Every structure is written in structure tokens, then in C-alpha cells.
A = this chain, B = another copy of it.
């Protein structure tokens, strides 16, 4: 494991205050993997063996049931995933696959469970992390139940544009059908939603979506800190 990766790991709020010794206990038995695009990492229903840390690339979390499938998250570095399953030693509720070539650190689940037994700082960081994730999913649920597809799209665009430093344009580095699934709709309907947003200054061209009237889009999207913000 590279020195820079260790630094990256320590940059995460989850590991920030962990003692060097405990961190060793996690990283010693860890393995660093590089996966090509579209690699299946985790399967819904399986028992968790590792806490995953996405260091580079892009990972999709999705769930299937009864012939249907839906995306719940598109992850960017640096973040852990499937923390809750690891903590409870319960089956994964979601599957994961890479959307881009990715580097992922695998921390043995047993080691993770062991550490916060002994390290109060890590325990507290875990509490904060889980509480934030709980709130994030709650927001996804509200987004889904309280908004229409074009509204969800509009708010997603606002968030994506702000992450990109508000250049007024968003360029996807994954397929539109993945975005459709994340928004809880089909590729066909995503196309229509994008076409609909053209009226308020959203210009789509391939994988690049330009926002020409940010205020107009905001008016339409009605973003709320109780649904859309990070925490």
C-alpha cells in the first residue's frame, strides 16, 4: 500500500483521528485492488468480507428485485462503502460494480469490527459517519417520494454542477441509462426530461449538459437543504 494512499485514507473523517497503531491493524491485512470498468465487486445478499474504500475511479451501487433493477448511488473517491453491512455482519443490501477503472482498498471486515471496540475515537467517527449516511438515504427517499422525474433531474444537475465548480456545465463519465436508474426512471424518460428542461435553458449534447440559466433552473428545481445537501 502506497504512502499517498495511506494519507488519503487518513483524510477521511472516518479514519482521521485513528491512532497510527490501530490504522496499521486495519491496513496491514488490507489489499489494494485495481479493477477494470464494469467489474462486479459486491453482490446483494452476500456476506460482507471487507469494508471497501474507493480510492480512484467510480462505483455504482444498485439493487435488484423480481426482474427490476435500480441504482441507488454513484460513488466518487474518496469514500468507504457497505459500512453498515460490515458492522452488523449482515448480508449486503446492494450490489456494487465499477463504472470506470477503479482502485479499491479492501479492509477485512473482522478487523474493522475489532478496532472500534478498542478505539473510542474510531467508534465516535463511525457514529458520525453512520448518522450522516442515514440522513443521506433519508434524503434520497424524500427525493423519490416528493418529486417528479424532471424535478429530480433538475436537482441532480444543480448538485452535479456545483461539484464541478459551477462552470455551468456537467459532463457525465458514465452512461445516461445509469443516471436514469439513479433518478428512478428509464433512459427513454430521462431523454424526455432533458428535452423538457430545454425550455428553461438546459442544453444537452451527448454526455455534456449545459446550464444556461442557473437561476431559472433553481426556480424550477426548488432545491432544499432538507433533501439535497450533503449531510
Contacts of A184 in B (CB 8 A): 145
Contacts of A90 in B (CB 8 A): 135, 231
Interface string of A179-210 (1 = CB under 8 A from B): 00000100000000000000000000000000
A91: Cβ under 8 A from any B Cβ: yes
A123 touches B134 (CB 8 A): no
Given contacts A91-B226, A146-B66, A184-B145, contact A127 B123 (CB under 8 A): yes
B141 touches A84 (CB 8 A): no
A227: Cβ under 8 A from any B Cβ: yes
8 A Cβ contacts from A83-97 to B: 83-85, 87-88, 90-91, 93-94
Q: How many copies of this chain are found per oligomer?
A: 2
A212: Cβ under 8 A from any B Cβ: no
Given contacts A87-B131, A127-B116, contact A138 B227 (CB under 8 A): no
B147 touches A88 (CB 8 A): no
Bound: A133/B88 CA distance, A: 11
Contacts of A72 in B (CB 8 A): 138, 141-142, 145
A226 touches B93 (CB 8 A): yes
Minimum Cβ distance to chain B for residue A71 (Å): 9
Minimum Cβ distance to chain B for residue A156 (Å): 15
Bound: A97/B226 CA distance, A: 18
Q: List 16 A-B contacts (CB under 8 A).
A: A63-B145, A64-B146, A66-B222, A72-B141, A84-B135, A87-B127, A88-B132, A90-B135, A90-B231, A93-B226, A116-B123, A120-B123, A127-B127, A130-B131, A141-B144, A145-B184
Extra pairs beyond A90-B135, A123-B127 (9, CB < 8 Å): A63-B145, A63-B146, A68-B147, A84-B131, A88-B131, A123-B124, A137-B141, A141-B144, A144-B145
Residues on A lying within 8 angstroms of B by beta carbon are: 44-45, 63-66, 68-70, 72, 83-85, 87-88, 90-91, 93-94, 116-117, 120, 123-124, 126-128, 130-135, 137-142, 144-147, 184, 222, 224-227, 231
